[in-house]
Chain A
Amino acid sequence: MEVDKGKGEAEETRKVAEADRDTVTLKSSDGKLFEVSKEAAARLSTVLAGMIAGGSIDDNGTDLKQIGSEALENVVDYCNKHANSIPSAALISSSISFNTAPFKEPEEWERKFVDRLSHDALFDLVEAANFLGMERLLDVTCHKISEMMKGKSPDQIREVFNIKNDYTKEELEEIRQELAWAFYDD
């Protein structure tokens, strides 16, 4: 992975002991450590912001059991890039409600960022962003996925999303007839 700051190799040795660092260390599910700027983490992630404010950050690596190292690497990468490119903070709305805030189109670097991801990595990143409450990252990645979904057939969608088809054959036929105009492939 062409990561410029979020290196995955060096953090094993990096055991910084000072309390007042400007970075936080995150630990993935498989034990790898990543370092990210405290300011960026607090600004981009509601969850991390809450943890930093609550003092529940562990200097030896905050355990994020739910996130694999690959996804976490991408998250950290995104945070670093975001910190460099966008000076002003985008405010984070509640993630419970539907996203009613105007969605800004992904910027060029964000588009490139998600474009280089593999399918699995993208989905993992969505999950990580959702878990960490990173609204903007979630927006960007979901936007990418929704673009991928355009024009796909239900079969393809099931495959992509790993969904079991629980319709009976008759029901499916019924739906297709009902919405025949939407199935322009047949």
Chain B
Amino acid sequence: MTTTTTMPESPASPPRATTKRPRHGHEAAPSLPDEVIVEHILTRVPAADVVRFRAVCRNWRAALTSDHFVRAHQTARAAAAHHPLDIVFFAPGAAAGSTTFYSSRLYNSTTPHNDGSSPASATELVTVSDLRASDLVMSGGCHRLTLLFQPGESAYHVINLSTGEHVSLPPCAWANRAIPYGPYVLSSAGLGFHPASNEHKVVRLFEDGWTKRPRCEVHGLSQLRRGEEVPGHAAKGLTGRPPVFVDGCFYWHMNTSFNFPGVEEEIFRTPEPILSLSVDTERFEWVSPPTRYEFLLAQVDGHLYELWVRTPASWSLRCRISFGSLLPRPTRDAMGRAIRMLPIGSSGGKILLATSRHEVYAYDTERNSVDRVFSMQDFIDAPREPELLLRAVTGVRRRPVAGSDVGKLKVNLGRSSDGHHFTATQQRAHRMFTAARLLYKYARAITSSGSDGAATIFSSPPQAGLSLSKLESNSAPSPRYSLTSHHTTGSRRHSPRHTPSTLGDAQLHSWHLKRDNRITRQAEHNLPLPGYPYALTLSPIGGEKHIPKQWPTTLKNTALSMTKITAIRIDHNTLQRLYTCTQPGLRLVASHKPPSKNGTLLVSRAVVPRKCESIPPELPIGGGAISPRAHEITQKSSHPDIRSGCYYPHRGVVVLLGVVVLLSQCSSGGGS
């Protein structure tokens, strides 16, 4: 045999020799090129498996934790997803104190599917063992991350619904109430993304319970900056809904008349009813709405929408929906039975409207028709018309009535792959009435939260219509500052020599820099942790940690792996605390600044990501991919376990507004 043709080198041809081991039995396998394994195979593996496979070898660990891979994995998984838009809701999990998140595709619930399958099927995304569903509110989302709020404990968590990893933000400061002993606190938090630093940020605007001054906390970038002073009375108009995050800016709707009817409203009135905060510059600005009518903010398709628009200068009208002429008539009537509704995103050119009856309708702008594409009643015995949505735009205040809309919540998970059948246990009664009332307040946050397509509410008064208009976004926030690199050496586990050759050195280098960026000098101080008698020194990269043996495993940091979270607390008056909790392999970083000059002792506490015990074997990333082995939730009868007289508003919350729209495509929403 003579070689008459020379084989051109394939562009992707591996530099590595294709050495084959002698085959004996099934044990010896041919070794594939690293590039094929990493780029073609591992990008298709579910996220939870990817995390576990870091333990295979050093090369894999380096490859799997690289930003390059994380991006490619997300892209590949998102591309593989058939249905880009899913409804995510949650319910009490099987184990007491746990919460299970589900995602459901949009389906046409008015007409059965062609193939005869039940249109109502939901996939269990993840079960988190240490978050109680009864005390949980989805409070916003960005990309793959969702911000959860526990009103009872005033705790915020950021969860990756694909993997179940979650981190808890530092304990939040006490927020003032709108009315003494009143039900509502003046606080609103949202999750956003800062493209310049490629990091997520949690911003909380609230009125400090002690100083009675508006404050803003930014949990995020490891660059300490003194933000601008929060405008006066800024927190007075917070309605409890999370801000809308669009194009690098948070937008809060200030509605002082909601909290303070009467004379006080005049006093606390803000210059404009919309307050914006840029994550890049950390500056506040007042935004003029196109109308002085009552309105609500929403984000659809990554744009900021406002309802009830007349002739906006910088707003452009997107569409009007006239409820009187919607087709078909039965669907319109069913839709009209709900008191309130809100746009929660768009799918395939249709605008999705969620109603307070736990249903989602898709509005076709061209045909002026609506289809019901999701109904919570298919899964959970939800209260019919809970009083916990937004009040109507018409200004009729709906006071939450305790106990009137107690939901019977029961989830039956049936026909899973292994025939496992169990009933979700009821959660215990809510412990605090005020917390429950808070849930009412915060319930609206749930529907209006979303990942990339967030939403807001508008009312549907008879004969009324709805207008969606778009705020012409300002120019994209320029990266005004770049991070300075604090080099830390000795990251032995991630030294470049373990890098697969196919991942470019440049990429790895930047990855290193980025990781090192989060390691600040302050982060390496010894930190006395309140409540723990010993000091803790943790290195962000690991290796030099000195964790006492008695340190509980659950307190160890399992940082979000596929997504990076850096959490710092920046108080705009004094920089109080620094928390960094970053990317895979990175450890808890906690620090404190020395006592300030006025003698205030500033104390830090640790970021303690919780451990997630139960992970389904197959986790779609982002919720777009539905695994075939998913559990199906079917509609079942009501739960017998509700004790009379108990106050269960949270059930309604859980049911009603545990609705979030996840977009599998993570491109929009200020992500790039």
**Interface-forming stretch among B53-61, B172-180, B343-351?**
B53-61
The proximity string for B residues 273-306 relative to A, scoring 1 for CB distances below 8 Å and 0 otherwise, is 0000000000000000000000000000000000
Q: Does B556 contact A (CB under 8 A)?
A: yes
Residue of B nearest to A124 (CB): B30
Q: Does A23 contact B (CB under 8 A)?
A: no
Partner of B4, one of A60, A94, A95: A60
Enumerate A131-156 residues with CB–CB distance to B below 8 Å. 131-133, 138-139, 142-143, 145-146, 149-154
Residue of A nearest to B75 (CB): A100
Query: Bound complex: CA of A138 vs CA of B43, how far in Å?
Result: 13
A66 contact set on B, CB distance < 8 A: 7, 18
Enumerate B22-48 residues with CB–CB distance to A below 8 Å. 23, 26-33, 35-37, 39-46, 48
Enumerate A157-183 residues with CB–CB distance to B below 8 Å. 157-167, 171-172, 174-183
Partner of A120, one of B29, B42, B615, B617: B29
B635–chain A nearest beta-carbon distance, Å: 29
Also in contact, A101 and B79, with CB within 8 A (given A167-B58, A181-B558):
yes
Q: Is the CB of B79 within 8 A of A100?
A: yes
Query: Bound complex: CA of A94 vs CA of B12, how far in Å?
Result: 9
The proximity string for A residues 61-102 relative to B, scoring 1 for CB distances below 8 Å and 0 otherwise, is 011111000000000000000000000000000111011111
The proximity string for A residues 119-132 relative to B, scoring 1 for CB distances below 8 Å and 0 otherwise, is 11001101100111
**Interface-forming stretch among A4-12, A34-42, A49-57, A109-117?**
A49-57
A174 contact set on B, CB distance < 8 A: 542
A120 contact set on B, CB distance < 8 A: 23, 26, 29-30
Q: Is the CB of B615 within 8 A of A142?
A: no
Residues of B in contact with A, size category = 35 or more
**Interface-forming stretch among B185-193, B384-392, B519-527, B606-614?**
B606-614
Q: Does B598 contact A (CB under 8 A)?
A: no
Enumerate B113-164 residues with CB–CB distance to A below 8 Å. 164
A143 contact set on B, CB distance < 8 A: 44
Query: Bound complex: CA of A100 vs CA of B73, how far in Å?
Result: 9
Q: Is the CB of B39 within 8 A of A99?
A: yes
Q: Does B317 contact A (CB under 8 A)?
A: no
Which residue among B29, B53, B55, B76 has the maximum number of chain A CB atoms within 10 Å of its CB?
A: B55
Q: Is the CB of A162 within 8 A of B44?
A: no
Q: Does B618 contact A (CB under 8 A)?
A: yes
Q: Is the CB of A167 within 8 A of B57?
A: yes
Query: Bound complex: CA of A31 vs CA of B32, how far in Å?
Result: 23
B39 contact set on A, CB distance < 8 A: 98-99
Also in contact, A165 and B611, with CB within 8 A (given A177-B553, A177-B556):
no
Q: Is the CB of B72 within 8 A of A180?
A: no
Query: Bound complex: CA of A57 vs CA of B8, how far in Å?
Result: 12
A131 contact set on B, CB distance < 8 A: 10, 13
Q: Does A43 contact B (CB under 8 A)?
A: no
A182 contact set on B, CB distance < 8 A: 48, 51-52, 615
The proximity string for B residues 231-270 relative to A, scoring 1 for CB distances below 8 Å and 0 otherwise, is 0000000000000000000000000000000000000000
Query: Bound complex: CA of A123 vs CA of B1, how far in Å?
Result: 26
Query: Bound complex: CA of A151 vs CA of B41, how far in Å?
Result: 14
Also in contact, A138 and B52, with CB within 8 A (given A150-B45, A181-B165):
no
A145 contact set on B, CB distance < 8 A: 41
Q: Is the CB of B23 within 8 A of A63?
A: no
Residues of A in contact with B, size category = 35 or more
Q: Is the CB of A64 within 8 A of B164?
A: no
A179 contact set on B, CB distance < 8 A: 51-52, 54-55, 558, 561
Residue of B nearest to A163 (CB): B57
B42 contact set on A, CB distance < 8 A: 146
Query: Bound complex: CA of A183 vs CA of B511, how far in Å?
Result: 26
B553 contact set on A, CB distance < 8 A: 177, 180
B572–chain A nearest beta-carbon distance, Å: 34
Q: Is the CB of B75 within 8 A of A98?
A: yes
A49–chain B nearest beta-carbon distance, Å: 11
Query: Bound complex: CA of A133 vs CA of B79, how far in Å?
Result: 21
Query: Bound complex: CA of A181 vs CA of B613, how far in Å?
Result: 6
Query: Bound complex: CA of A126 vs CA of B45, how far in Å?
Result: 16
Partner of A103, one of B49, B60, B76, B617: B76
B54 contact set on A, CB distance < 8 A: 175, 179
Q: Is the CB of B11 within 8 A of A96?
A: yes
Also in contact, A146 and B45, with CB within 8 A (given A133-B10, A179-B55):
yes
Q: Does B213 contact A (CB under 8 A)?
A: no
Partner of A65, one of B7, B12, B26, B40: B7
Also in contact, A102 and B11, with CB within 8 A (given A58-B4, A172-B55, A181-B615):
no
Query: Bound complex: CA of A119 vs CA of B27, how far in Å?
Result: 10
Q: Is the CB of A157 within 8 A of B75?
A: no
Q: Is the CB of B618 within 8 A of A161?
A: no
Q: Is the CB of B10 within 8 A of A132?
A: yes
B4 contact set on A, CB distance < 8 A: 58, 60, 63
Q: Is the CB of A166 within 8 A of B58?
A: yes
A61–chain B nearest beta-carbon distance, Å: 8
B311 contact set on A, CB distance < 8 A: none
Enumerate B66-114 residues with CB–CB distance to A below 8 Å. 72, 75-76, 79-80
A28–chain B nearest beta-carbon distance, Å: 10
Beyond A63-B1, A161-B37, 20 additional contacts (C-beta under 8 Å) are A47-B7, A47-B10, A50-B8, A58-B5, A60-B4, A66-B18, A96-B11, A96-B12, A98-B75, A100-B79, A119-B29, A130-B32, A159-B27, A165-B56, A167-B55, A167-B57, A172-B55, A178-B542, A178-B556, A179-B558
Q: Which 10 A-B pairs have the closest CB atoms?
A: A146-B44, A98-B72, A95-B12, A142-B40, A182-B52, A154-B55, A102-B79, A182-B51, A181-B612, A58-B4
The interface of chain B, by Cβ under 8 A from chain A, is: 1, 3-8, 10-14, 18, 21, 23, 26-33, 35-37, 39-46, 48-49, 51-61, 72, 75-76, 79-80, 164-165, 493, 542, 553, 556-558, 561, 585, 611-615, 617-618
Q: List 5 A-B contacts (CB under 8 A).
A: A127-B30, A146-B45, A157-B56, A178-B556, A180-B558
